[in-house]
Amino acid sequence: MSKRMKAGKLLSRFIRQIAEEETEFVKDEDGEDRMATKAEALARQIWKQALGFTEMKVTDPSLPPVEIEHQPDQKMLALLYDRMEGRAATATEDETLRPSTAQKITEQGKKRIGALLGDLSDGHTSETNS
């Protein structure tokens, strides 16, 4: 096993251990604070961002708080969907090399439109090429 693989396994093990530490406060069903694991707090934050949320922010102590609305985060939605479908990406994947679902759909659409336009410019329809 290479040094890089050993280091990766060690890092993964430490991340899992730290994720199980109960150091975070979360609200329970009654709105009371309770201790939770870092993993649970992270999962709750991902859900919050995926669904969108509103926060009150104090910009100036002499003024009332400002309400800021955060729209649902598409990346968090995709992350949750992939996790629920069992398609979890590894932490070592380079996201710049792996296209998102939206990018794949866009590229497919471009190819189909390009093919259609090419067929039309040749005086053919897509039906005659089939």
Model confidence over 77-110: pLDDT tens digits?
A: 999 999 888 887 655 455 566 677 777 778 888 8
| pLDDT score of 10 more than 80 | yes
Entry pTM: 0.58
Q: Which residues of 73-84 are buried (b: 16+ CB within 10 A; e: fewer)?
A: beebbbbbeeee
| pLDDT score of 115 more than 60 | yes
Per residue in 11-24, pLDDT (tens digit) is 999 999 999 999 99
| pLDDT score of 29 more than 90 | no
Q: Read off the tokens for 18.
A: 């730290």
